[in-house]
Structure 1
Amino acid sequence: MKLNWLAILFIIVAALAVPSVSAKIIEEKDGYIVTTCDKSLNLPEAFKSTSRSISQGQTDWYSTSVPAGKTSLYADLNWGDTSDSISLTILAPDSTLGPYYDSADGHIDGRINLRISKSSGIPSGTWWSKIYGEMVNGAQSYTYSASAI
């Protein structure tokens, strides 16, 4: 019995010693913390993607209604073609965050996937997302979704 408890204690200590994987902080501004978001994270149905295409110098705008009491806004821009450059800027009711580019999360993969949070909670109201075709050959299709949780 004593050996079993020692083995269990060893397993617990070993598990606590392993560093946890944390999101990479991309920006800290006006109390906001912008981090990478796990691309495999299964987010709620509220994350309905919009599909469009964008060309060089074009800007697309999206609005997201954020109700009171939310702690984070998740934004996911996915175009998958690393030869084209598209940027994402988030306009919160009280601050402008970004622009962010494909390399923001440390990976060049044609995707910008972010979590924006604030320790006091994010402000309610209309948040705007600006998607800009920085360097695009022809028309580049993409999907975009944003939702507060």
Structure 2
Amino acid sequence: MREFKILLAVAALVLLLPANAKEIEINTVYDSVRQGEADWFYEYISSSSFDVYLVWNNPSNSLTLTVYSPDGTYQTFRDSSDGRVDRKILLTISNAQTGLWYFKVYGEKVSGVQHYSLTVV
């Protein structure tokens, strides 16, 4: 019964993720968001750990990065998550599950358009 519940939870997450998510093909994507806008990306991860970097240039703008693991758990990170406000979200994911990982970049507080780079290595 427990396995069935886990499968249902994973299936529910797959249904909630947007169909227009873009694959991160060469480890880095360059894109932009406006206030309240979200961009979705995915990457198949087969290693036990990987790094994720979200970088932007305007200090008055605020972006968030939400990371979704293959089992449906997720966590949202902000610029200040590492104790510094430097327009960077730098993460190392350890004990990573093998499978599709999804990444949502969200324009939490953006004036105009904010360009960014998202790297998964």
TM-score (norm 2): 0.74
The answer for the alignment partner of 1:51 in structure 2 is 30
Work out whether residues 81 and 109 of structure 1, in 8 Å CA contact, stay in contact via their aligned partners in 2. no
Structure 2: runs of 5 or more not aligned: 1-24
- 1:136 equivalent to 2:110? Answer yes
The alignment-based identity, stated in percent, is 35
Query: Which structure would you say has the larger RCO, counting Cα contacts within 8 Å and 6 or more residues apart?
Result: 2
Work out whether residues 50 and 144 of structure 1, in 8 Å CA contact, stay in contact via their aligned partners in 2. yes
Q: CA RMSD in A?
A: 1.5
Distance in 1 (CA, whole Å) between partners of 2:86 and 2:58 is 7
Give the counterpart letter for 1:128 in structure 2: Y
TM-score (norm 1): 0.61
Distance in 2 (CA, whole Å) between partners of 1:136 and 1:96 is 27
Work out whether residues 84 and 137 of structure 1, in 8 Å CA contact, stay in contact via their aligned partners in 2. yes
In structure 2, the CA distance between the partners of 1:117 and 1:78, relative to structure 1 (3 Å rule), is same
Could you give the per-residue CA deviations for residues 61-97 of structure 1, whole angstroms, max 9, x where no partner exists? 1101112xx2212110000322101000100011433
- 1:117 equivalent to 2:91? Answer no
- Number of matched pairs: 97
- 1:106 equivalent to 2:99? Answer no
Distance in 2 (CA, whole Å) between partners of 1:81 and 1:95 is 32
In structure 2, the CA distance between the partners of 1:128 and 1:49, relative to structure 1 (3 Å rule), is same
